[in-house]
Structure 1
Amino acid sequence: MAERIITGFHAIEEKVLKAKEQNSCSGMSIVYGKSGPRVKKILGYAKEAGISVRSARDEELDALVKNLPEALREHRGIVLCVSGENAKTRNTVDFDAWLLQAASRPENERQTVVVLDSVTDPHNVGAVIRSCDQFGAGLVIIPERRGARDVAENEVIARSSAGSSAWVPVAVVSNLVRAVQLLKEKGFWIYGADAGGSRVNELTFSARSVIVMGSEGSGIARLLEEQCDSIVSIPTCGKIDSLNVSVAAGVLLYEVYRQSL
Structure 2
Amino acid sequence: MHTISNKELPEVVFGIHAVQELLKSDQALQKVNKVYLQKNLHSGSLTRINQRAQALHLVVQAVPKNKLDDLSDHGNHQGVVVTVSPFAYVELDTLLEQLHANQQEPFFLILDNLNDPRNFGSILRTADAVGVNGVIIPKRRASGVTGLVAKTATGAIEHLPIVRVTNLVQTIQQLKAAGIWIFGTDMTGTDYRHWNAQGPIALVIGNEGKGLSTLVKQQVDQMLTIPMIGHVQSLNASVAAGILLYQAFTSRKVN
TM-score (norm 2): 0.87
CA pair 233-48 structure 1, distance change in 2 beyond 3 A: farther
Question: Is the partner of 2:29 in helix, strand or coil?
Answer: coil
Tell me the residue number matched to 1:30: 35
Aligned partners of 1:75, 1:23: CA distance in 2, in Å? 19
Q: Secondary structure at the match of 2:142?
A: coil
Matched residue of 1:198: which SS?
A: strand
Q: What is residue 124 of structure 2 aligned with on the other side? A: 129
Counterpart check, 1:43 vs 2:50: yes
Q: 2:109 aligns with which of 77, 91, 114?
A: 114
After superposition, residues 1-261 of structure 1 pair within 5 angstroms as: 3-18=10-25, 21-22=26-27, 24-25=29-30, 27-32=32-37, 33=39, 34-56=41-63, 58=64, 61-66=65-70, 68-70=72-74, 72=75, 74-82=76-84, 87-88=85-86, 90-106=87-103, 109-149=104-144, 154-261=146-253
Moved over 6 A (4+): none
Amino acid paired to 1:46: A
Look up the SS of the partner of 1:66 in the other structure: helix
**179 and 26 in structure 1: CA distance in 2 versus 1, 3 angstrom threshold:** closer
**Can you give the 5+ residue segments of structure 1 that lack an aligned partner in the other structure?**
none
CA distance in 1 between counterparts of 2:245 and 2:200 reads 13
Identity of aligned residues (%): 29
Q: Which amino acid aligns with 2:99?
A: A
Q: Which amino acid aligns with 2:155?
A: G
Question: Which blocks of at least 5 consecutive residues in structure 2 are unaligned?
Answer: 1-6
Shift of 1:250: 1.1
Structure 1 residues 127 and 23: alpha-carbon distance in aligned structure 2, compared to 1, 3 A threshold = closer
CA contact (8 A) 1:25 1:51 kept: no
CA distance in 1, matches of 2:28, 2:150: 20
Aligned residues: 244
Structure 2 CA distance for aligned equivalents of residues 226 and 53 of structure 1: 51
Query: Displacement, 1:105?
Result: 4.9
TM-score scaled by length of structure 1: 0.85
